[in-house]
């Protein structure tokens, strides 16, 4: 099954990214290019403070275990 696309606002982002379609209980994980987890959180926003300028993959998992993915440019 293909992961579902995820809307990130803004993208590129500097301090914080919003994920409008996520519920407050959905889990979020930010991965670097090597697959290492750089940030985790829950809900429709994620802090990006102190991240290096890079392209990341953001994964969100809903309570029903549906995985959404998107690329995020942190600047």
Q: What is the CATH number of the domain that holds 33?
A: 2.60.40
DSSP annotation of 72 reads E
Question: Virtual CA dihedral for 34, 36, 41, 46, nearest 10 degrees?
Answer: -40
Host domain of residue 30? 4-74
If one counts the domains in the chain, the total is: 1
Look at strands 16-18 and 4-5 and give their pairing: unpaired
DSSP one-letter code for 3:
P
Per-residue pLDDT of the chain (75 residues; tens, 9 = 90+): 555 678 999 999 999 999 998 999 999 999 999 999 999 999 999 999 999 999 999 999 999 999 999 999 999
């Amino acid at each position: 099954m293909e992961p579902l696309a995820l809307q990130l606002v803004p993208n590129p982002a500097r301090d914080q990214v919003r994920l409008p379609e996520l519920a407050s209980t959905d889990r979020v994980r930010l991965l670097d290019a090597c697959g290492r987890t750089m940030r985790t959180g829950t809900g429709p926003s994620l802090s990006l403070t102190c991240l290096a300028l890079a392209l990341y993959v953001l994964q969100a998992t809903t309570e029903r275990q549906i995985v959404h993915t998107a690329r995020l440019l942190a600047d």
